[in-house]
């Protein structure tokens, strides 16, 4: 199903022509922003110099540090009166990154979500329970207005307790949820412990998961446990929040809405483009924003472009699920490790539960605390020792180093209300 078939299936020349027009307009708009004006002057660059979308490479990068340095409103491209909404992303320490929305930006953000929901078959007959946090985080409000645009009945549940989520799902026959993958795993455990079989007592059919990296194994785990189709939803505050890239029904990569974002994949070390299909850092330019467009934003998210057309007929290119953030990479005993590698191993083992924590201590000691699945412990300690050995071996094969594995009871590891914190690094290096 299409929300806006003509735009979603624009052929390549038409899509590029639209990108070029919008990219030029954006550069023109950014001449009002001292941060960008200075960079354009230094490079002797004018909007007319942009002759194709590929000329985006002539423009300067923007980094998270630039957003923080220009906090609160140094990158605002319209007058204050034209701003309708503010969102921020906290991320690491220090000042947040602020993003402003004009009226048109608010509407566009909702439209992109509507496209995304529609392409997975969500309709006005659906009951949409948004279990993401409402407030400065975009996952609440931006998704909310997109689902309303489709005409769903939206339940703004927020992150609340699992008891309350379940009650809402049962009483209002929720069919679609928007949920963090880490919370979806926790919620699956909660239902299992309560003896609730979602296939029998709930009306759930789809889950949109995003806002944090997760693996294909995690998707399958959630699908099996909740009896739903799980779709990957990617976004970031700097680019509206959710709705930047979404999976279609084929579930093979996420379409980036290229009429709104110019997409590049670069080598994070050199800043140079990688060959099509090769992994690298995703760089996005917002070409359809008014209040605060950003040029060549370094997302730090690692992915690759999936070459070739998609069976759904949409022409907007697809990216692979995010394999991690370049700043998430851990270096342990000289080995580069992404938390996703560990998750992939754990989620592929049925005896293993749905929560884990990576701890780094001392000089370079890595312990992976792993919850057992609620049904795994049969009281025989010998079995546990064997399982622990198995997990250590599988991790060794994946990581090329052998971490210590601690098996812990289901439900005993901390669960964050927002995005999961999977790594605690207390190394004294």
| Positions that interact with Zn ion (CB under 5 A) | 248, 310, 312, 314
Beta carbon of residue 6, minimum distance to Zn ion (angstroms, whole number): 16
Q: Rule CB under 6 A: is residue 217 a binding residue for ligand AMP?
A: no
Q: How far apart are CA 235 and CA 223, in angstroms?
A: 21
Q: How far apart are CA 191 and CA 199, in angstroms?
A: 11
Binding partner of residue 392 among Zn ion, ligand AMP, none, CB cut-off 5 to 8 Å per kind: none
Q: Rule CB under 6 A: is residue 237 a binding residue for ligand AMP?
A: yes
Of 180, 322, 330, 407, the one binding ligand AMP (CB under 6 A) is: 322
Q: Rule CB under 6 A: is residue 89 a binding residue for ligand AMP?
A: yes
Q: Phi and psi dihedrals of 199, rounded to 5?
A: -65, -30
Sign of CA dihedral 132, 134, 137, 141: positive
**SS3 per residue for 292-329:** CCCCCEEEEEEECEECCCCCCCCCCCEECCCCEEHHHC
Mention every residue, 6+ apart, whose C-beta is less than 8 A from residue 375: 192
Q: What SS3 class is residue 223?
A: helix
Q: How far apart are CA 32 and CA 68, in angstroms?
A: 19
Beta carbon of residue 342, minimum distance to Zn ion (angstroms, whole number): 30
Sign of CA dihedral 163, 339, 303, 349: negative
Binding partner of residue 248 among Zn ion, ligand AMP, none, CB cut-off 5 to 8 Å per kind: Zn ion
253 neighbors 318 (Cβ within 8 angstroms): yes
Q: How far apart are CA 178 and CA 126, in angstroms?
A: 13
User: Which 8-state DSSP code applies to residue 273?
Assistant: B
Stretch that binds ligand AMP, among 25-33, 171-179, 211-219, 271-279 (CB under 6 A): 211-219
Q: Rule CB under 6 A: is residue 31 a binding residue for ligand AMP?
A: no
User: Count residues contacting ligand AMP (CB under 6 A)?
Assistant: 17
Q: Rule CB under 6 A: is residue 211 a binding residue for ligand AMP?
A: yes
Stretch that binds ligand AMP, among 33-41, 161-169, 230-238, 402-410 (CB under 6 A): 230-238
Mention every residue, 6+ apart, whose C-beta is less than 8 A from residue 118: 1, 2, 3, 150
Q: Rule CB under 6 A: is residue 236 a binding residue for ligand AMP?
A: yes
Binding mask 291-320 for ligand AMP (x = CB under 6 A): --------x-x-------------------
Q: Rule CB under 6 A: is residue 235 a binding residue for ligand AMP?
A: yes
Indicate the residue among 62 and 410 with the shorter CB distance to ligand AMP.
62
User: Which 8-state DSSP code applies to residue 350?
Assistant: T
Indicate the residue among 53 and 210 with the shorter CB distance to ligand AMP.
210
Beta carbon of residue 418, minimum distance to ligand AMP (angstroms, whole number): 9
Of 198, 213, 253, 403, the one binding ligand AMP (CB under 6 A) is: 213
| Helix boundaries (H) for 215-272 | 216-226
Token pair belonging to 85: 């909404």
Indicate the residue among 325 and 354 with the shorter CB distance to ligand AMP.
325
Of 53, 146, 210, 293, the one binding ligand AMP (CB under 6 A) is: 210
Indicate the residue among 138 and 288 with the shorter CB distance to ligand AMP.
138
395 neighbors 358 (Cβ within 8 angstroms): no
Positions that interact with ligand AMP (CB under 6 A): 89, 138, 210-213, 232-237, 241, 299, 301, 322, 325
């Amino acid at each position: 199903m299409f929300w806006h078939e003509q735009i979603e299936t624009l052929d390549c020349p038409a899509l590029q022509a639209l990108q070029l027009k919008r990219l030029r307009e954006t550069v023109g708009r950014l001449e009002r922003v001292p941060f960008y004006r200075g960079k354009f002057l230094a490079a002797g660059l004018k909007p007319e110099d942009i002759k194709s979308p590929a000329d985006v490479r002539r423009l300067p990068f923007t980094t998270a540090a630039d957003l923080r340095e220009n906090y609160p409103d140094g990158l605002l491209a319209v007058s204050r009166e034209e701003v309708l909404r503010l969102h921020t992303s906290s991320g690491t320490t220090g000042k947040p990154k602020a993003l402003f929305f004009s009226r048109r930006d608010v509407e566009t953000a909702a439209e992109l979500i509507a496209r995304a929901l529609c392409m997975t078959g969500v309709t006005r007959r659906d009951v949409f329970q948004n279990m993401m946090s409402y407030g400065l985080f975009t996952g609440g409000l931006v998704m909310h207005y997109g689902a309303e645009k489709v005409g769903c009945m939206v339940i703004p549940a927020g992150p609340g307790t699992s008891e309350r989520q379940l009650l809402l799902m049962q009483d209002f026959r929720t069919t679609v949820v928007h949920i963090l993958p880490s919370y979806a795993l926790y919620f699956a455990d909660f239902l299992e412990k309560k003896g609730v079989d979602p296939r029998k007592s709930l009306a759930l059919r789809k889950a949109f998961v995003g806002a944090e990296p997760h693996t294909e194994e995690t998707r399958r785990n959630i699908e099996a446990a909740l009896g739903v189709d799980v779709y990957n939803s990617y976004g970031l505050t700097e680019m509206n929040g959710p709705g930047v890239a979404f999976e279609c029904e084929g579930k093979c990569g996420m379409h980036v809405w290229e009429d709104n974002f110019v997409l590049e994949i670069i080598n994070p070390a050199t800043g140079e483009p990688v060959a099509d299909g090769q992994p690298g850092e995703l760089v996005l330019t917002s070409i359809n924003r008014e209040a605060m467009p950003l040029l060549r934003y370094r997302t730090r998210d690692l992915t690759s472009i999936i070459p070739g057309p998609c069976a759904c007929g949409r022409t907007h290119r697809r990216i692979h699920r995010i394999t991690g953030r370049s700043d998430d990479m851990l270096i342990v005993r000289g080995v580069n490790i992404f938390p996703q590698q560990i998750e992939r191993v754990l989620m592929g083992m049925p005896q293993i539960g749905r929560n884990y924590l990576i701890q780094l201590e001392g000089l370079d000691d890595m312990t992976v605390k792993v919850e057992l699945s609620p049904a795994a412990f049969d009281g025989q300690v010998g079995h546990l020792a064997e399982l622990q050995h198995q997990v250590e071996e599988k991790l060794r094969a994946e990581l090329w180093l052998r971490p210590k594995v601690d098996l812990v009871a289901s439900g005993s590891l901390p669960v964050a209300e927002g995005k999961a914190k999977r790594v605690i690094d207390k190394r004294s290096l």
